[in-house]
Structure formats: C-alpha cells, structure tokens
Structure 1
Amino acid sequence: MAGNRFLARMSLENEIGVALSDTRIRLLEEIGRKGSINQAAKAVPLSYKAAWDAIDTLNNLAPEPLVVRVIGGRQGGGTELTEYGRKMVAMYRALEIEYQAALDRLSERLDEAGGCDVGGFRQLMRRMSMKTSARNQFSGVITGLRDGGVDYEVRIRIDANTEIAAVITRTSAENLALAIGKDAFALVKSSSVMLSVDPGLRLTARNQLWGEVAAVHEGPVNNEVTLALPSGRSVTAVVTGDSCRALGIAPGVAACAFFKASSVILAAAD
C-alpha cells in the first residue's frame, strides 16, 4: 500500500489558478506565530518578495484581508493575521485531514483492484492545471453590464468603494454567461498599469485606484511598484526607474494606479 499511497498536498483553486496551497497556508501560519513576514518567509522558506506577492494575491481574492500591516509598537511594526485569516487557516487544515483520509481509502481500494499508475495520474493533473501570468487578480461581483453592440462594458465591484470597469467583446460576454450579481475575476497585467501622484490630473482611463505606495522593487531598467488600497487589497505596476524618480515614487507616497478598461481580462465561474 505504501507504494501507491497518495499524499495530501491540497490546493484550493478558482477559475484562474491556485488560491490556497500548502505553501501559502504555512506562510499564513508563520505570520500568525511570528508577526513578521520576513521571519515567516524564511521559515517556509520563500523569498521576501514572493511572500508579499502571495499575501497581495490572497488579500485581493478574499472577501476581506487575511493579513494586515501593523504600524508602531516596540518592534516598529510588522504583519498580523486577521481573525478571518485564522479562520481560513483552520478550515484549510480541517479539510486537509479529511482529504488525506479520503486519499488513504482510495489507495486501499486501488491496491485491492491491482494498483494503478500513480505517477502517470499526477503528470496528467499537472498538465491540465491552469495558471495566469497576470500580476493583479481581483475577485468581485458584476454590478453593471452595458451592451455596446460590438462589445460589452462590464463593471465589477471588488469592495464597498471600488469598482473595476472592463470592455470585452460580445462573444466573450456570451461565452462567460455574464449577468448582474455573478461572481467574476478581473485580471490586469502589471505592465498595463500606470501611475500618477497628481490628484488634479485628468485621465481618460476608466479605472483609477488611489492608494499608498507599499513597496518598490527596483530593477536595472524597470521598477515594480505595489500600492496598498484602503480596502486592504493592492495593485502592482511596472514602471521605469526614471518615471519613479520623476514622480517621487517611494513607500508612503499617495499615488493613483490607472489602467484602461480594455486592459482588463475577465474570468467567471460556470
């Protein structure tokens, strides 16, 4: 039986890829224990940037933040697992126990039937899994649909104060079976997001998300800039280092991330 045993490495997925995995859950657990994303990342292990990318994705996809930044205190601040985050971790671990028990029962039945090609099955599942390269992933509810003849304008509410607008073809809207009240995902590549620090600047871009610069990861030519939104979600842009310097982009600076409705890719559940 040991040779054919399936080991539980549970992943909870949505239509655009893995939302919760064992690695992300361990990261949340370590944040809960240590109150520091730097120490939590080392314990998993993950790079500091990969850890923050995972947290940003989880906070963007969840109904409410799982992790929040804490300012002040003797340690000068840190990160904290929210009550909602603790509940999600507990639920995942409970599901994992049941999942392993179910896999053990399956292994026993397969052994009784003469075994199976476990390796081949795993390879097939890996090939069938889907991931997305879009850096910004938001979940929400469709609040508006406007038929433009050739295309559709879709509005998705991602929190109490923020909507994202998307323009897609009529065919795409029909294939996704979009409807008011339906859950949907909005995907935006970081290269499609631009930044401004001028509140008086008039922009034609439909989507304008104001927040505070949380992190700037510098590269040889381009920088990756992450803005923390008031709701606890975040949005990431890739801009040139020269543009960052010209705008004075640095942690703590108020900025607007803006992108065209045509730059938004939608995904929806069946």
Structure 2
Amino acid sequence: MSLETEIGVALSDTRIRLLEEIGRKGSINQAAKAVPLSYKAAWDAIDTLNNLAPEPLVVRVTGGRQGGGTELTEYGRNMVAMYRALEIEYQAALDRLSARLDEAGGCDVSGFRRLMRRMSMKTSARNQFAGVITGLRDGGVDYEVRVRIDERTEIAAIITRSSAENLALAIGKEVFALVKSSSVLLAIDPALRLSARNQLWGEVAVVHEGPVNNEVTLVLPSGRSLTAVVTHDSCRALGIAPGVAAAAIFKASSVILGAAE
C-alpha cells in the first residue's frame, strides 16, 4: 500500500517501517538495518518526507549519553498511526470490492492497481519540495514564479509563458518544485554577492564523500533539507563539513515546476 498526494507517492510501507523503527530505536542507522535499507537511502527517504510534509516527521537530536540520534516528531507519530489505520480500512475495502467483482463476473483488480502505480509520477531530481504559489510576474515570454515551501523560505522559478498556462498557475495553487543536486552551488561567505535568485542558508548535516564529487546535504532552519553535488576539492577549499553554515545557491531557471490536473 502507498498513500499518494496530488504530486505522486508520498508514503510507502517501506518508509512507514523506517519511521516506526526510528521511533523504536532513536537511531537512523539501526532503523535502516532493521527495514532493511542502506544508511544513505534511509536519509534520502527522510529528507524527501520532511520536504514534502507541512511539518518535519523526523528531527536530528544532539546530546545525551549516546551523543545524539534521530526521533519522530509528534506529527511523524500521527502520520504513522494514520497510515496504519488507513491500511486496515484499505484492505477491508479491497476485499469487499474483489468479492463484488467476483459476483459480477470477475475483474483484474491487481492489473488495475499496477496501472495506477505506473501512472504515479517519479523523478530523479534529488531536491523535491511541495509549496504554494505566492507570486506570479509576467515577463512577456516567461513567468517568474515564487513558491513558498515553508514559513521562512520561498523559491523563485522562471518558466516559459506556455508552461505557466499549461500548468494553470495561480496564486495559492499547490505545486511541486524540483531542483537537481548538480544545479546547486555552495557558499560559506554571507558577504558574497551573486545574481542567482535562490540563496538558501542552512547548516551542513551530512557529507557523503566520493572519489571525485561529494554529496552535501544542508538542513534549513525549518527542518527542510537541500542536497548539492560538488567536487571533493571544492568541499575541501570551502571547509564544508557537518555543522558548518552554508548557502545552497541555484538559479531560478534551474527550478522545474509541476502541478496536478
């Protein structure tokens, strides 16, 4: 079973099990092993859930006898409980539907479910945010769109006029903002002046090192996260490490918008 929003699958059984294990163990490493998932896949899932939800479901905690860990928020616990309750109702409804279809001559229920899954949107973009349009400015051939993803943060996007019309964009409409991690630059100097419209400050939470490039995840003040892929040498030159304040910088033209019918 999975719960879908207007922008695709938000919760799956694997993600719910991950949340449950975090609630039990207080450690994402132990929770990932129990699911099982890789440590990185677990954090990627948590980052996606926190970015799409109106409130964080999981937060990092520091201190204590073990030096810190992760825990479910009250909102996260409520989402897990709601999912499990809906799961029971969903299965009961599916059983009733199957029984009625059998009486009427049968129908491929599993085939229908496969079709619905195929129609769910998936994307390779590492950064995915749900938000509400707060600003629209007609630039003639294009539109500048401002999307509020939380109380503190807005993202600016530039899309063509035809795209804005096809998406039927309007103030107050919920949209999906996608930003590839390779389009995100990092900076640590607050005095640095750049033309890029989007400059989101946060704290480096995780650095996954590779032989050439590193994947760096910043946590914004709201608890949302944003990931950038930068070279290993650039990380070293900037002193990028967990706990360092940094800005995620990306052009408005690098933001892709999606909207439901």
TM (normalized to structure 2)? 0.96
C-alpha RMSD over aligned residues:
1.3
2:183 counterpart (188, 192, 212): 192
1:201 lines up with 2:192 in the alignment = yes
Matched, 1:268 2:259: yes
Gaps of 5+ in 2: none
Deviations 1:75-134 (A, max 9, x none): 110001000111111111111111000110112122223333455444433433320111
State which of 241, 254, 257 in structure 1 corresponds to 2:248: 257
Corresponding residue for 1:63? 54
Q: Work out the CA distance in 1 between the residues paired with 2:86 and 2:117.
A: 21
Give the counterpart of 2:17 among 26, 30, 34. Answer: 26
| Aligned-pair CA distance for 1:220 | 1.9
What is the correspondence of 1:63-142 to structure 2 with a 5 Å cutoff?
A: 63-118=54-109, 120-142=111-133
Inter-partner Cα distance in structure 1 for 2:179 and 2:257: 9
1:208-260 deviation per Cα after TM superposition (whole angstroms, max 9, x unaligned): 01111100111121111000111000000011111111111111111110000
Query: For residues 141-152 of structure 1, what are the structure 2 equivalents within 5 Å?
Result: 141-152=132-143
Name the SS of the counterpart of 1:159 in structure 2: coil
CA contact (8 A) 1:16 1:131 kept: no
Aligned to 2:173: 182
Residue number among 36, 40, 46 corresponding to 2:31 in the alignment: 40
2:44 is matched with which residue: 53, 65, 77?
A: 53
- Residue 164 of structure 1 is matched in structure 2 by 155
1:124-161 deviations in Å (ceiling 9; x for gaps): 33433320111101111111000001000000111111
TM-score (norm 1): 0.93
Q: Give 3-state SS (helix, strand or coil) of 1:124's partner.
A: helix
Q: Report percent identity of matched pairs.
A: 90
Q: Which residue of 2 aligns with 1:5?
A: none
